[in-house]
Amino acid sequence: MAEFSYKIIKHIGTISDSPKGWKRELNLVSWNEREPKYDIRDWAPDHEKMGKGISLSHDELNALSVLISELDK
């Protein structure tokens, strides 16, 4: 498997907690020293391990926000 690097630039919030201590979080993350993206994924308590997730640009996050706000209509 190819190596990669990541840096959590900003922790925005926790979406949920699992009984095993992992947390589903929204963070601003730089992957492989690239421009940071908004990222939703599960993280181990020490942020050394992670689950599969999704990274979104600012425009994609805004589009998702609009879709979510329309769920209540």
> For residues 41 and 53, is the Cβ–Cβ distance under 8 A?
yes
Number of domains in the chain: 1
pLDDT of amino acid 2: 77
Handedness of CA 54, 58, 59, 62 (dihedral sign): positive
**Residues in the chain, overall count:** 73
- Whether 26 is covered by a domain: the verdict is yes
pLDDT tens string 14-72:
999 999 999 999 999 999 999 999 999 999 999 999 999 999 999 999 999 999 999 97
Q: Is residue 1 part of a domain?
A: no
Q: What residue numbers bound the domain in which 37 lies?
A: 6-70
Q: Is residue 22 one of the residues assigned to a domain? A: yes
| CA-to-CA separations, 67 to 70, 71, 72, in angstroms, rounded | 5, 7, 10
Q: Does some domain include residue 24? A: yes
pLDDT of residue 1: 67
